[in-house]
Structure 1
Amino acid sequence: MKVARINIRTTDGETLGLKEAMLVKDKGIEGDKNAKGGERQLSLLPLKVREDIEKEEITGLCIPRFTENITHTDDARFKEGERYTLGEAVIEISGIRKKCFSQCENIIKNKSCTLVKSVTYAKIISTGIVGINAEIQPFTGVKGKGKL
């Protein structure tokens, strides 16, 4: 699995696509207005879901407002507690699924939402740079030549 896109939100709400970014331990992506720590330091979404959103094949209240930090090339299912290398950084999956708003048409109509099911959140365990096409791989306990 590889990184297809990297995004941040600026303090004025603008979404910026980046070629590479610094993932900061216990915070989030450097320059992202949401880089404040917590359990949701990083959001990940499969490229197929992002493409479906862009084609307007997925609808809902939060669709136009949601932008993931990392768009990845696989439909792999992550599990809470698993760790991955993401470029030079190490992340730990901290949440699966996005919360939905009760006002959303999907909730009101009892429709399933692909976005809700596909978003994964992570904490940054070790700082590092990630770029487009960087590999996302299970963490083996060794980062570079040394351990975490």
Structure 2
Amino acid sequence: MKVAALKVRDSKDNICYISEAFLEEDRGIVGDLSKRQEYGQVSILGSEFREIIDDEKMEGLCSFGFDENITIEDLDTKDINIGQRLVIGDTVHEIICIGRRCAKDCKLIQLEGKCKLFMNVVFTKIIKGGVVKVDDKVISLR
């Protein structure tokens, strides 16, 4: 696994792609103004699923407004557990949430009963801060 992309939300609510990020212990990405405290400090999504979202133009409410902080190649959330740790660049993350509640008025929820997007997103807490760069290796600690 490796980091495919890094993103932050700026003061104007724009998503900005960055080549490296500084992650602060117990806080998240420095300069990211996303409101994620309910779920975790950093959001992670597999690159394969990001491609599905972008290519298929999923019609869920959240898929239009959701952008993960870290996109990881070859991430399979079926192999991830709460409490598991990931080493990403210089940082250590602890998985604190897998998936996310969806809006009841979302078309996907009404039609299918579930949203594929939020079964594939992972939220973490920063255990050890440091720098993460695009192309950094991701190591799963079990």
User: TM-score normalised to the size of structure 2?
Assistant: 0.91
Larger proportion of helix? 2
1:133 and 2:96 matched: no
Alpha-carbon shift at residue 63 of structure 1 (Å): 0.8
Q: How many pairs are equivalent?
A: 140
CA distance in structure 1 between the partners assigned to 2:36 and 2:59 by the alignment: 29
Moved over 4 A (4+): 35-39
| 1:47 equivalent in structure 2 | 47
- SS of the residue corresponding to residue 32 of structure 2 reads coil
Gaps of 5+ in 1: 141-148
Residues 132 and 53 of structure 1: CA distance in aligned 2, closer, same or farther (over 3 Å): same
33-42 or 106-115, larger mean C-alpha shift: 33-42
What is the Cα-based RMSD across aligned positions, in Å? 1.8
CA distance in structure 2 between the partners assigned to 1:127 and 1:85 by the alignment: 10
31-40 or 64-73, larger mean C-alpha shift: 31-40
1:73 and 2:73 matched: yes
- 1:44-67: CA deviation from partner (whole Å, max 9, x where unpaired): 001011111111352201111000
User: TM-score normalised to the size of structure 1?
Assistant: 0.87
Percent identity over paired residues: 34
1:13 and 2:19 matched: no
| 1:2 equivalent in structure 2 | 2
Residues 87 and 60 of structure 1: CA distance in aligned 2, closer, same or farther (over 3 Å): same
* Structure with the greater alpha carbon radius of gyration: 1
Residues 74 and 13 of structure 1: CA distance in aligned 2, closer, same or farther (over 3 Å): same
99-108 or 56-65, larger mean C-alpha shift: 56-65
- SS of the residue corresponding to residue 16 of structure 1 reads strand
